[in-house]
Amino acid sequence: SGFGYSGASAAFFSGASQTKTLEDEWLRLSALATPAISNIANGDYYLIKTRQKNVPFDLYVIHITDVVETTDDNADYIEFSYKGG
């Protein structure tokens, strides 16, 4: 069923270097996961499980590096870096 999102930390993002690290953190935080993210802000970290069937690994930790919201056009965007997948 869809995506799962949970908060993550800067320390976790920095130290996430192996698949098992992401899997262990997901097991620890999955009960807090939500199906959507709201109020995304620069500097946020998220652990995301995509639940894709056609990929060998479906966990990502994402660091939001920029959020631009415009009110008069569709030029909004979010920049991020990630590990996993």
| pLDDT 10s digits, 16-53 | 888 888 889 888 888 888 888 888 999 999 988 887 77
Residue 2 has pLDDT above 60, yes or no: no
Separation between Cα atoms, residue 58 and residue 52, nearest integer Å: 6
The answer to whether 33 touches 80, Cβ cutoff 8 Å, is no
pTM of the model: 0.82
Separation between Cα atoms, residue 20 and residue 26, nearest integer Å: 10
Counting every residue written for the chain, the total comes to 85
Nearest CA to 43 out of 85, 6, 2, 78 is that of 78
The predicted pLDDT at position 81 comes to 96
Q: How confident is the model at residue 3 (pLDDT cuts 50, 70, 90)?
A: low
